[in-house]
Amino acid sequence: MTDVQPDPRDPRPLIGEPLALDLLNTRWAGTPVNDLLTGVEGYAIWLSSAGLSARCAADEAGLAAIRQTREAVLLAARDARERGALGAAARDGLDAVLAHGRIRRTAGPDGAEELVETDRPQWLAPWLAADGFLALLGQGAHRVRQCAHEACILHFFDTSQNGRRRWCRMAVCGNRAKAARHYEKARG
């Protein structure tokens, strides 16, 4: 998502993670939990921030498909984080989404080209997110992380050299944790 500009209407605190994790980040901490995908308008904002609005329509069918995908990716992310591998339920959830599409290779003017085809238009964004999650797993399941701050539910892909990133954003969650530790130390 490097060349994509987030939609200025996007209220999420963390934008720009790989597509699958960006989809998970359509929920963020709050009371109740904030959810961008409660309606078609929020789905349109997410598609725009993800750079998919020209390829995917924001409609009820797409919203239902993307919400199903978010749950499948969430289960898979938990398995990757907690077990280092996907359990049967996580694999089944991802496979249910991936069954709606495929990659077709063609000969283009500069060599091989890959085209994503889906059985129905509403499955393009979900398929891309599920496929993207598998690509992240291929780079290391241990790098699919949830923020270590107890009040944060955001996800990120740890690209740090040593693989020890803990916070979605150091300036927010990391500083909160440091301030809490400092406060406890000062009290004690």
Tens-digit pLDDT profile for residues 24-62:
999 999 999 999 999 999 999 999 999 999 999 999 999
Answer whether residue 164 is part of any domain: no
Give the residue with greater pLDDT, 161 vs 99: 99
Alpha carbon 176 to its chain centroid, in Å, reads 23
Lowest mean pLDDT among 19-33, 82-96, 107-121, 166-180: 166-180
Q: How far apart are CA 128 and CA 179, in angstroms?
A: 39
Total Cβ atoms within 10 A of residue 177? 19
Q: 107-137 burial, b if ≥16 CB within 10 A, otherwise e?
A: eeeeeeeeeeebeeebbbbbbbbbbbbeebb
Residue appearing with tokens 């949830």: 146
Cα-trace Rg, the chain: 18
Q: Is the pLDDT of residue 183 over 80?
A: no
| DSSP H helix total and E strand total for the chain | 6, 6
Residues 63-100: pLDDT tens digits?
Answer: 999 999 999 999 999 999 899 899 999 999 999 999 99
Segments forming the whole domain that contains residue 81: 19-140
Give tens-digit pLDDT for 134-143: 999 999 998 9
Domain count, the chain: 1
Local structure of residue 174 (DSSP, 8 states): I
**For residue 32, what is the domain's CATH number?**
1.10.3300.10
**Is residue 62, in this structure, part of any structural domain at all?**
yes
Residue 186 resides in a domain: no
Which string of DSSP letters, residue by residue, matches 2-58? TTPPPPTT---S---S-HHHHHHTTEESSSS-EEGGGSHHHHHHHHHHTT-TTTS--
pLDDT in tens, 121-155: 999 999 999 999 999 999 999 899 999 998 899 99
pLDDT of res. 185: 62
Residue 5 forms part of a structural domain = no
Q: Is the distance from CB of 57 to CB of 122 less than 8 angstroms?
A: yes
- Residue 67 within any structural domain of the chain: yes
Alpha helix stretches (DSSP H) within 84-114: 88-98
Q: What is the C-alpha separation between 10 and 13, in angstroms, rounded?
A: 9
Cβ distance 19 to 1 under 8 Å? yes
Residue 34 resides in a domain: yes
Flag whether 163 is in a domain: no
92 domain residue, yes or no: yes
